[in-house]
Amino acid sequence: MGRPLPCLCPKFGRCGVAVLVAVAGWSPLGARAQSVARPVSPYPVLDDPPPPLRPEAAPDAFPAPAPEPAAQVVTAPPSLSRFAVAATLAFAHQSETNSSLTVATPVLRGLYKIRPDVMAELDWGFALLLDSEVSASARSGNPWLKGWYRGERGLLRWYAGVGVTVPLASVNLGPDGRIARALYNQSAAAWGLWDDWRWTPGRMALPIPAALWYTLSPHVIATAEAALAPVVGVRDGEGGTDLLAQLAVGARFLLPHDLWVCPRVQAVLLPSASVDRLQLAAGLRVEWAPRFGRFFVGALVNLDEPLGVFGRGTQTWGIHLGKELDL
């Protein structure tokens, strides 16, 4: 969307632009808070709840009588949340001389805590398209079933998982096949091709994701995410085995009123058949984390070809809105 920026630089030289976006948030933090903020993971259910506050009792002028045995009340500790749900909506818009295209990609997630350190998750995305001729199209992405293992040591927290996608995304050879393939491509572009196996028609993947969070201070958390995914064609015309890889680094900065600012830079290694093998993107996300879940809004800009704002890219960027809630 918009006109290309008048900035031309080598493909890998644009990494510097991405790094500047991430480093922009490292400003002086001021005085530290008296209470240490706990790390925040991608899902609220993965976070340990803060310990309950115990108000200090005012001294009584006279000692209270001992309670009757029949009147004693034993309060059990509150149970931890075992299930979390989340919904994210990413959308992108492109306009040309005589036409325009709007793509929305809602992604629904449900996560169940089997044990304190073992979780199971279902991730399912959908692709919706509306063009300037007021014609609409909707397709299902590939549902992603995965399991997570959580561990921590001191200020370091990590997650590792393994999953499999169900190849529901498909295109046909009829007149609608070209539109369906373009819809999947635009949906993946709205995410900077991150978790691209959600939108690969006729292909099955075995993603292996992992993540690290390190608490630098009560206000700053450094983050890193990566994943490898072998993909295999399961339908005619979508054959062949390939490997997708992705890496993201970022940080989380705690502001007053439970607000988090999260810059991020990501790189995705595209399939071997692609002319451009690496897709870079930079994003900025603002989260509000009250007691009843987490709201967030963010923007992601693709930096280089084939989708980026530099060079001959398609100037694709996406807006993300979401809500996460543990039950």
State how far Cα 250 lies from the chain centre.
12
Bigger pLDDT: 241 vs 211:
211
What is the average pLDDT score of the chain? 78
The DSSP call for residue 20 is H
What per-residue confidence (pLDDT) applies to 326? 73
Encode pLDDT of 2-23 as tens digits.
Answer: 444 343 344 444 544 444 444 3
pLDDT tens sequence across 38-59: 444 555 555 554 444 444 444 4
pLDDT at 7: 39
Q: CA-to-CA distance for 122 and 125, rounded, in angstroms?
A: 10
Which range (57-71, 134-148, 174-188) has the least confidence? 57-71
Peptide bond into 306 cis (omega under 30): yes
Are residues 225 and 208 in contact, defined by beta-carbon separation less than 8 angstroms?
Answer: no
Give the residue-averaged pLDDT of 257-261.
92
Q: Indicate whether 65 pLDDT > 70.
A: no
Q: What is the C-alpha to C-alpha distance for residues 278 and 271, in angstroms, rounded to an integer?
A: 9
Which is higher by pLDDT, 216 or 78?
216
State what percent of residues in the chain have pLDDT above 90: 48
Specify the CATH architecture of the domain 80-326: Beta Barrel (2.40)
**Statement: residue 129 has pLDDT above 70:** yes
pLDDT at 291 over 70: yes
Residue 107 has pLDDT above 50, yes or no: yes
The pTM assigned to this predicted structure is 0.76
